[in-house]
Amino acid sequence: MTDSAVGGSHTMSDVSTFRLYLLRGAYLLVSVGLAFTIWPQIILHDTKWPLWYGVGCSLLAAVSVLAVLGIRYRSSARAVADHQRSHRANDCNLTLL
């Protein structure tokens, strides 16, 4: 089988403009949502956090930074989105077990 029969040999520049703007909008939604919920907790916290709460906030802060970068470099950040999607699917599979 050739590459085009299996899944195609498309590059990032072959993605339609609509899909790129849709991805850009998703990154904007994630970054704005996390900017209003996570960053104030990180900047203004005054007590010691439990370990896993701090880890979760740090992880979400890193995701928000990647989302901001994804707005500018949207086609390059597609690999990050695909990686996150695969981890979410894996977490859902583990939850069902």
Per-residue pLDDT tens over the stretch 36-47: 999 999 899 888
Contact 34, 60 (CB under 8 A): yes
Q: Is residue 11 part of a domain?
A: no
Nearest by Cα to 61 from 87, 31, 88, 18:
31
Residue 26 in any domain: the answer is yes
In a domain, 10, yes or no: no
Residue 9 is assigned to a structural domain of this protein: no
Q: Looking at the domain assignment, is residue 33 inside a domain?
A: yes
Write out pLDDT tens, residues 9-20: 555 556 788 888
Count: domains in the chain? 1
What are the structure tokens assigned to 18, written together? 């609509």
Range of the domain at 20: 16-96
Tell me the whole-structure pTM to 2 decimals.
Answer: 0.61
